[in-house]
Amino acid sequence: MVGRVVSHYRVIEQIGAGGMGVVYKAEDTRLGRALALKFLPADASSDQLALERFQREARTASTFNHPAICTIYDIGEFEGRQFIAMELLDGQPLDQHIAGKPLPINRILELGIQIADALDTAHSLGILHRDIKPANIFVTSRAQAKVLDFGLAKLTPGGRGSSAMVQTVAESMLTTAGLAVGTVAYMSPEQARGEDLDQRSDLFSFGVVLHEMATGKQAFQGNTTAVVFDAILNRMPPPVSAINPDVPPELERIIDKALEKDRELRFQTAADMKSDLQRLRRDRNSGRGVMVGSGGVPAASGGYRTARSSSGVPAAAVTTVESAATPAAPVSAPPPSTPAAAPPAAAVAPKPQQVVAKAEPGTGNKNTMIAIGGGVLLLLIAIAGFAFWKSSGSQAEPVTTQVADAPPEPAPAAPPPTDVAAPGPEAGTPTATDPGAVPGVTPTTPPPTPPPDTAAAPPAVPAPPPVTAAKSGTPSTTGKASAQ
């Protein structure tokens, strides 16, 4: 087949083969684009059931226009063999992508959301895939999931799918009561029992795929088909976290809910399952942003469950720290106006400590508290120093006044000798021992100036109040000095 031209498609090389066909890489000679040609095996060309399934795959997939579903371009026949012209994908099937090892959690979430969205689109058109498994999911080199092989797809009653999906002989054989259709290890319980199916059957199969993506192992294993059926109907698969401890509890919950035996307890729509996966991805991203932050206040330290269960507390923490940071600026200012800011700072300081007790300790939070405490301490020291300086300054003034008034105090002690020789202070030097010389002193006192001093002296004698005596004594002493 390589090198030949099929219709207007030139076959370049074979890129894959399987039970349902052989896939070649080809080129559209009209549009000049690369695509894939899937041929029905030669030995299956005469098999009516295989032929109907092959055509159903083309008709069903052509109904969709979705990034997570492989696009169908054309369907035709060449030398008695049916072929489908479809989108050429660069990558590998999901089962090879898993390769017996669990995928990273972020990859599981990204691919899971894309697959769930593709199933939601198909179910909204009333189309059931009925064969969801890793081999039917392709992962491109750009990590884009593509759902393949709608060969077992079924249009539910009232569905809005392609009008070409009519009841055929093959379809009646596939949907006969009691006939299980699909891949055994990925069947739902109702599918294994041959019951009527709805969209919840695809969600169970999708849960089995998620389990394998998270653990690297099939959820239901057995050496025979009977053993696998028994596990699907009666047993729960091993806990995901027991095999892969890195799986978040929320992802394990989503997988367990999808694998409920009772379809009424399962996810009811693919949209619900996609929403839970999207919520988990959002919480993981926001939780990782907090933990890898730059050392600020951990608004939602811990994990993403903490950001949701106690979302109110972290908000209060941020507000408290911001309010505490405001008085920290006045702390560095020594002016007297800062004492008014001291009480708010002291009142705000304890609040961040309470928040730290609730949230996980952080280096940035401790440094903030140390800075605030140190600032408050410096403020209190500044206030105490200012008060001490103020009190010492007010006490220094009276000391200075008393020292200035101290010299006049000896002057009041001098009045006793003045009282003894009060009549003749001027003549005391010539006639000190002659008491009768008083009348002779009268003519020797021509200057009338001393009497004012003498008259001023008596007021100085009644000097019980030190202040008044000091003031009045000062001029009299000066007068005597000038007279002498």
List the catalytic residues.
131
Question: 149: which strand partners?
Answer: none
User: β-strand 81-86 against 72-78: which pairing, if any?
Assistant: antiparallel
**Long-range contacts at 319-324 (CB < 8 A, ≥ 24 apart):** 320/348, 320/351, 320/352, 320/355, 321/297, 321/352, 321/355, 321/365, 321/368, 323/348, 323/351, 324/348, 324/349, 324/351, 324/352, 324/368, 324/372
474 in Cβ contact with 451 (< 8 Å) = no
Phi and psi at 101, nearest 5°, equal -125, 145
255 in Cβ contact with 214 (< 8 Å) = yes
467, containing H or E segment: helix 466-483
27 in Cβ contact with 35 (< 8 Å) = yes
- The label of the residue with tokens 């619900």 reads 272
| Distances, alpha carbon 204 to alpha carbons 180, 214, 250, 320, in Å | 15, 15, 17, 48
Sign, CA dihedral 180-183-185-186, equals negative
**Tokens read off for 305:** 């469950």
- The label of the residue with tokens 């009691």 reads 178
292 in Cβ contact with 276 (< 8 Å) = no
310 in Cβ contact with 318 (< 8 Å) = no
Report the distance separating Cα 153 and Cα 149, nearest Å: 8
**Tokens read off for 398:** 């009276």
304, containing H or E segment: helix 304-309
**Tokens read off for 262:** 């009772």
Report the distance separating Cα 140 and Cα 32, nearest Å: 22
Gyration radius (Cα) of the chain, Å = 52
For residue 188, give every residue at least 6 positions away whose Cβ sits within 8 Å of its Cβ, in sequence order, or none. 197, 200, 201, 202, 204, 205, 232, 263
Environment class of 446 (CB within 10 Å of its CB; exposed 0-12, middle 13-18, buried 19+): exposed
